[in-house]
Structure 1
Amino acid sequence: MSRFGNIKKIYSIMSKKSLFLWLFSGFFLMITFSLSIIGPIAQKNMIDTSIKEHALSIKWLYILILIYSSIVITRLVSNFLSGVAGVKESKNFIFYFFYKVLHLKKTLINRNGSSFFYDILASDSENVVRFITSHTTFSFIFSTIQSLIILAIIFTWNKIIFFVVLSYLILISLVTLLASKIFKRIFSQIRENSSMFVSESIDKISNNFSIIHNSIYDKILERLIVFYNPLYKTFKKHLFTNISFESLTQTLNLLITLFIVVYSTQLVIKEELTYGVMIALLSYLQMAKEPVNSFKVLISTLNNADISIKRLLSLETFDTNECSYKLKKVPSTDIKSIKVSNLSFFYKEAVEKSYHNINFSLDSGCLALVGVSGEGKSTILNLLIGENTAHSGDIEYDEISEKQFNLEFKNLIFNIYSQNIEIFNKDLYFNLALGKSVIDKEEIEKIVEKIKLELTHLLDSLADNIENFTKIKDIIINNEKFRVLLHIMDITPNFSKLKKDDELFYLNFIKELIENRELLLNRMIKIEFDRTYIIKSEIEEIVKELGLQSLENRDFGENGNKISGGERQKIMLARFLLKKNWSFFILDEPLVNLDSINEKELLSLLIKYLKGKKGIIISHKFNLIKDLSDRVILIEDGHIKQRGKHQELININGKYKELYETFCENVKF
């Protein structure tokens, strides 16, 4: 997308109220510039009249005071309105794009680093808001018009001064244009080098224990200096370039001012020019240069914002695995089966790590994926849940391609116990409830009935307006809860991108949903209840079973750095056991960082909750595989090499038996 297209897209995100405030601030700025043109003429008339009458012209003095007072007031109002718009949009932009970041795939966040996205949210959003709510564009437009009017006035006074001022403005404009191109390239280098240095710094701060423990802080500082040096050189380049252009600009300013003073003084002596005109000329000279200064600020601000705009809008284009509503088929009941057919995948940065023709299905029981570390077992799980996309082959849920399910809907299908433990710097109950409202069992029926009534009313509204696309759109957009639910189920398009020809197609799509409204309604009630509420007694039971009472009323620190590895595992397990209405469970290397006693207790708890349910296990712990899985797949060199039940495979010479015997040598179970 072009620079203009990017700016247009950014303004489309801006709230209507802020846009109105910004435009209104531009109106007051226009009045300011208009009054500024009249000011020097009033000066001229006051001086010339006073000299002629040998007394101060009170009339023109009052007019001059009125003009300058109005300039101050309109400027203040303009700045105030622009400032209010900026404050409002800072909040709007941060939360708008924070929402986008939250919907990105975890693999994408891991690949780019959290600091990359934090920099976008904290720095880039502020740069963009500063640009879109500033007066730079208005100032350039109004000052250019003002300058043309001033040149016309100067032309009527003295043609030589007119041509000199015009030549000066053309020359200074060319210098400014050249400077802007150079500064754009320098600023781009600064942002690139700065991001690398910040990322490297955060990495070292996060690992400061290892640095101090191994007494390598001097080596680390040396490495940081290597990353900082390109940034330092770019800063120096910016400084010297800025000084050079500023010196050239100031020299040209002094020369033109000197010429106007000397030449107009001679004209006054010859009585070819009045003192009032001379003073007005000097005032107009400063104002005539304003478009150049405004252009310089505009280009500088735009160059500053350009990269930020691109980085912000990149969040719109990152793959979130959301599919077109045209492909969507929304199951209203739980998924019964998964089928993986001829699945192949490789990493672009490590082509040798490839997986070919992976085939399996799961419609009952538990499947274990086994292999040495690095064989791609977790990659297969990421393909299942949509974090990665296969290069060939397909995954089907109830014979429907996974391409017809967005990432959020897949998260409803699976209950995942991940090896990547995420702990909030909050207390125990927040980490288990995850911000949901904690309720008593007695409240469930009342809450479900309330949700049902709200959703029924909204579905009735859709049915009543099924032929009117505009009303359907308004119903969805204006009800946040309904809009979020439809987004989770991926059955609503991005209305801002919807083409006119697609409106009828979408209305027909809504009709099909309404025809199956009871199934749809039940599914939506489940989703809304589970994402909003959690049962108090269930939390208390899990806390007791896992022995987490000692963690109550404590903040856990950044990513749980104030609690032990075993306690972090237990919190993840508690979260896993509290999730409701899923179709398949996934255990990705559970029960690590636990002593043998805790491991045995938690294994018993997993068996109690998961026995007989459908799911997939990845683990090096064969006691877990033996007790929970019905069948096993062994992956080696990117291919499935062995299949069968645990007992069958340990009786056959092969990699599975080798891994099992190695495990038995180290662990008794």
Structure 2
Amino acid sequence: MVKEGLMVAIEYMRRNMARKGWIIYLVSECFFIGRFLLAFFIPLAQKALIDATTEGASMELISAKALVCLILAVGMGVLFMLSIQLSTTANGEAVSGLLIRAFERLIGQRYSDIQKKGAGWYRSILYTDVLPEMLAPTYSIAVFSVVQFISILIIVGRWSLSLVYAILAICAVYLSLVLLLAKIRDSASKRELDVRLKEAAILEEGIDAARVFSRFGRKEVLFSKLQAHIKLRIKVRRVARLAVATTDSLWEIASSLAMVALVLASLAGLRSGAISTGALVTIIAYIPQMLLPSKAIGDIFMFEAWASGVKKHYMDIEKRYQDTIPLAFDLPNSGAEDAVLELRDIGFSYVKDEKEKGGESSFGAETSLRETTPEKRVNISGISLSCSPGTSTALLGLSGEGKSTLIKLMTGEELPSSGEVRFCGAFLRDIPAPMQRSFINVYSQDTEIVDDDVRGNILVGKEALSGAGIEAKKASLRMGFEESLDKLAAIVGKARIKGEIAAQKVCARELEKAYCTNLRPILGLPLFFRLPGNQEPSLFLSLLDRYSTREMAAIFAEAEFGRSYCVSEKVESLIQSVGLSHLVGRTLGQRGGGISGGERQRIALARCLAKENWKFLIIDEPFTSLDALAEEELSGILQDHTKGRTILLVTHKLNLVPLLTERVVIMKEGAIAAQGSHRELKATNSLYASLWKAFSSQRQ
């Protein structure tokens, strides 16, 4: 457990702390070792001073030895203070590096994965400093103290072997008990973390659902579930803290026993003259250092037990992020004529509302894939659908037929269990995530609002450019990418003469340089850390093999413009046309708490239509919070902005189907049941005819 804990913790921190932090950490370790080195010599200097005093040495000699003791003591204090200062700085670097890198991995995951885990789970993990605390100088102390311990035994062995045997026996008993307590703490810490994460999920769900429980149910259930988890957490924490307290008590007991045992064992030596009074004082002063190796090794066990649960969850976040990076990049073909988006014999199956395989929902019973009945599964099988350039399609069906799942497959939020999803001729799963999001636009009923004004919520981090500067910016982006790729290709090409391994090493080194910084964001590579092994150079080398630098630069520039820029005149026009001018200059509140549902829908529409360079638009249940007049107004705006573009509409408002689309696809029981124009299906398909009739009667 020690070896695994040490290796995993240090390796994880190595990948997640900047070089500056590691340098500071190593310097602080040197000061710690210097401090312990002085602590080793101080008792010897004290022995020399006591012996000189008791043997009647001259005042000059006694003063000199006293000065040596003073210098060593002051030096040890200064080194200790410096080591603490530097260790604190290194810890701050570690906390900062770990948090920002873990956060980057988190937001780089598929949103569906985050939803399954719950945001509370991630918040609880990210705000813990357990792993950085493992950078405390416990490991260097353990290594150095073992060397120091052997040196002390050699010194003491000259005086009495019985003292050596007594020291070894006390250390062995202490370490055995600590190992047992570390196992107890390991189990308790993991249970405490699991309970705390479930508790965080209850709190988050309780806050979000408080109004529902108060109005439609009994809010007491929130308190009872929370109280039960708090009691369990307190119980588990009591066990963990009892293990720590027992370890500290054992240290005190061992120190006292060591002092008594060593004094008793040295009596014979004192009487015979083999041990001087100074030597006895030295032995007593060495007692903490004699026990230090056992305590340091025991602390490593206790540290590992404390951090084991958190480390596991951090590694889980890292693995989930790694799963989103393609094994090889594929780029969409902007000039694809056959289909913008195509589903080929798609199959997919999952458990509806499942939090996690074998996991537990905060307010529901435990659910496992093995225990799932067919009624609880959402299945899609054999679906093939093609959306050609400039076509508009409506995807309809009853609730629960798999429409939302198809949208997740089309946006890359889920991966099919069989078949393939292609976008502009490329496998969607292999297209870098930022490119997917640049080219695939979504107008959804689920609208996230940030604590900013209406312009900030439409731009969401993009820069607004004047229409007059658009072409210049596009040319600048294309030129910047082309220069970076040409330089990288030339350097890697020369290295390839020496072989593929040499090319990978050179490519990895070049990717660290400033001229390659514009390539990482558009390819979805991490900004604050690097992928392990040769994954990054392998991805770049495969691109250089398959595409010319000019082709890549054109695609990169097109995607980057859509990802990072908007046209300012268009944004201002949309604010006016969708009816948001009254919100200009007003902060909308956290999660949009200061606006209505209708205003939220208007912001979502403006945000969608302000996006540049998209090739495929998914309209998912639009206008859900709008009245009939507002719906008619905004549907006209949507129609004007999407005319001649490739769109897919998913809606229960059937009046939008003939207005926005040319083709209708009907899903039933996870498969495509019929497709055709609105007029054809209304006349020939009973399901569509009944849906249209029911909707028309409701509108009347």
Relative to the length of structure 2, the TM-score reads: 0.88
Q: 2:664 aligns with which of 613, 622, 632?
A: 632
Q: Kindly provide the amino acid, as one letter, of the partner of residue 377 in structure 1.
A: K
How far residue 67 of structure 1 moved from its aligned partner, in angstroms, is: 0.7
How far residue 273 of structure 1 moved from its aligned partner, in angstroms, is: 2.2
Q: Residue 161 of structure 1 aligns with which residue?
A: 163
Q: Residue 128 of structure 1 aligns with which residue?
A: 131
Structure 1 residues 36, 579: CA separation in 2 closer, same or farther (over 3 Å shift)?
Answer: same
Q: Residue 498 of structure 1 aligns with which residue?
A: 534
Structure 1 residues 157, 485: CA separation in 2 closer, same or farther (over 3 Å shift)?
Answer: same
- SS of the residue 2:395 aligns to: strand
Deviations 1:296-334 (A, max 9, x none): 322222222333222222222116543222x63553546
Number of residue pairs aligned between Structure 1 and Structure 2: 658
The answer on whether the counterparts of 1:385 and 1:407 sit within 8 Å (CA) in structure 2 is no
- SS of the residue 1:198 aligns to: helix
Deviations 1:563-618 (A, max 9, x none): 10111111111110011111111011111011111111111111111122211111
Q: Does 1:428 align with 2:454?
A: yes
Q: 1:447 aligns with which of 473, 478, 481?
A: 473
Q: 1:380 aligns with which of 406, 423, 436?
A: 406
Relative to the length of structure 1, the TM-score reads: 0.92
Determine the C-alpha separation between the residues in 2 that align with 1:218 and 1:371: 39
- SS of the residue 2:55 aligns to: helix
Q: Does 1:510 align with 2:512?
A: no
Determine the C-alpha separation between the residues in 1 that align with 2:30 and 2:242: 38
Q: Does 1:355 align with 2:371?
A: no
Q: Residue 181 of structure 2 aligns with which residue?
A: 179
Deviations 1:103-156 (A, max 9, x none): 111110111011112222222xx2222223x21111111122211211111111
Determine the C-alpha separation between the residues in 2 that align with 1:643 and 1:624: 17
How far residue 467 of structure 1 moved from its aligned partner, in angstroms, is: 2.2
Equivalent positions of 1:433-582 (< 5 A) are: 433-465=459-491, 466-468=493-495, 469=503, 470-479=505-514, 481-485=517-521, 487-488=523-524, 496-498=532-534, 507=541, 509-513=543-547, 516-582=548-614
State which drifts further: 475-484 or 412-421.
475-484
Structure 1 residues 168, 213: CA separation in 2 closer, same or farther (over 3 Å shift)?
Answer: same
Q: Which runs of 5+ in 1 are unaligned?
A: none
- SS of the residue 2:518 aligns to: helix
Equivalent positions of 1:368-407 (< 5 A) are: 368-407=394-433
The answer on whether the counterparts of 2:508 and 2:534 sit within 8 Å (CA) in structure 1 is no
Structure 1 residues 571, 509: CA separation in 2 closer, same or farther (over 3 Å shift)?
Answer: closer
Q: Residue 206 of structure 2 aligns with which residue?
A: 204
- SS of the residue 2:512 aligns to: helix
Q: Kindly provide the amino acid, as one letter, of the partner of residue 433 in structure 1.
A: L
Q: Residue 324 of structure 1 aligns with which residue?
A: 327
The answer on whether the counterparts of 2:159 and 2:269 sit within 8 Å (CA) in structure 1 is no
How far residue 370 of structure 1 moved from its aligned partner, in angstroms, is: 0.8
Q: Does 1:144 align with 2:146?
A: yes
Q: Does 1:87 align with 2:89?
A: no
The answer on whether the counterparts of 2:186 and 2:308 sit within 8 Å (CA) in structure 1 is no
Q: Residue 642 of structure 2 aligns with which residue?
A: 610
Deviations 1:260-286 (A, max 9, x none): 234435643554422111111111111
Q: 2:79 aligns with which of 70, 74, 90?
A: 74
Equivalent positions of 1:28-39 (< 5 A) are: 28-39=31-42
Q: Does 1:621 align with 2:647?
A: no
Structure 1 residues 420, 596: CA separation in 2 closer, same or farther (over 3 Å shift)?
Answer: same
State which drifts further: 243-252 or 84-93.
243-252
The answer on whether the counterparts of 1:333 and 1:519 sit within 8 Å (CA) in structure 2 is no
State which drifts further: 575-584 or 637-646.
637-646
Determine the C-alpha separation between the residues in 1 that align with 2:113 and 2:181: 37
Determine the C-alpha separation between the residues in 1 that align with 2:487 and 2:94: 32
Structure 1 residues 215, 415: CA separation in 2 closer, same or farther (over 3 Å shift)?
Answer: closer
- SS of the residue 2:511 aligns to: helix
Equivalent positions of 1:38-77 (< 5 A) are: 38-53=41-56, 57-77=62-82
How far residue 378 of structure 1 moved from its aligned partner, in angstroms, is: 0.9
The answer on whether the counterparts of 1:6 and 1:310 sit within 8 Å (CA) in structure 2 is no
Determine the C-alpha separation between the residues in 1 that align with 2:124 and 2:164: 49
Q: Kindly provide the amino acid, as one letter, of the partner of residue 135 in structure 1.
A: P
RMSD over aligned Cα, in angstroms? 2.6
Q: Does 1:101 align with 2:106?
A: yes
How far residue 98 of structure 1 moved from its aligned partner, in angstroms, is: 1.3
Determine the C-alpha separation between the residues in 2 that align with 1:166 and 1:141: 17
Q: Which runs of 5+ in 2 are unaligned?
A: 352-368, 496-502
The answer on whether the counterparts of 2:466 and 2:569 sit within 8 Å (CA) in structure 1 is yes
Q: 2:237 aligns with which of 232, 235, 241?
A: 235
Determine the C-alpha separation between the residues in 1 that align with 2:134 and 2:140: 12
Determine the C-alpha separation between the residues in 2 that align with 1:370 and 1:264: 92
How far residue 247 of structure 1 moved from its aligned partner, in angstroms, is: 4.3
The answer on whether the counterparts of 1:29 and 1:75 sit within 8 Å (CA) in structure 2 is yes
Structure 1 residues 117, 61: CA separation in 2 closer, same or farther (over 3 Å shift)?
Answer: same
The answer on whether the counterparts of 2:609 and 2:641 sit within 8 Å (CA) in structure 1 is yes
The answer on whether the counterparts of 1:321 and 1:386 sit within 8 Å (CA) in structure 2 is no
Determine the C-alpha separation between the residues in 1 that align with 2:525 and 2:273: 83
Determine the C-alpha separation between the residues in 1 that align with 2:332 and 2:398: 37
How far residue 249 of structure 1 moved from its aligned partner, in angstroms, is: 4.5
Determine the C-alpha separation between the residues in 2 that align with 1:568 and 1:334: 35
State which drifts further: 248-257 or 571-580.
248-257
Deviations 1:535-566 (A, max 9, x none): 22111100000110111222222211211011
Deviations 1:185-205 (A, max 9, x none): 111111111111121112112
- SS of the residue 2:673 aligns to: strand
How far residue 446 of structure 1 moved from its aligned partner, in angstroms, is: 4.2
Determine the C-alpha separation between the residues in 2 that align with 1:271 and 1:70: 34
Structure 1 residues 71, 6: CA separation in 2 closer, same or farther (over 3 Å shift)?
Answer: closer
Determine the C-alpha separation between the residues in 1 that align with 2:68 and 2:614: 77
Deviations 1:23-71 (A, max 9, x none): 2222222211111111101011101111111776211110001111111
